[in-house]
Amino acid sequence: MVIEFKESAFRHNKSEADIRCAFMNPCYDGPIEDDSGKNNRFIRLGFDTSGNLLEMLYNEYGDRACIFHAMNCRSIFFSLLEV
């Protein structure tokens, strides 16, 4: 999978290396379901190079992922990690 980054992915001071590490080693990956009608939005949770849990939002286009948001994972998403 080819990973692309929107400039907004770096808004929370996460490096490309940290985002890439977390994205390539996910603990959770799934669609974002909302009422906006946008069906091509996904959330992925994973650990960066320092062991911090990141939340990443992205769009998928065939074999490409375009990450547009990345930051330390907020507690609202911790329930996604429950088995």
**pLDDT (tens digit, 9 = 90+) per residue, 9-48?**
999 999 999 999 999 999 999 999 777 666 799 999 999 9
- pTM of the full structure: 0.91
- The pLDDT score that the predictor gives to residue 69 is 98
Domain holding 55, by residue range, is 2-81
Distance (Å, rounded) from C-alpha 9 to C-alpha 37?
22
- E-assigned strands of 1-83? 2-5, 26-31, 42-47, 53-61, 64-72
Number of structural domains found in the chain:
1
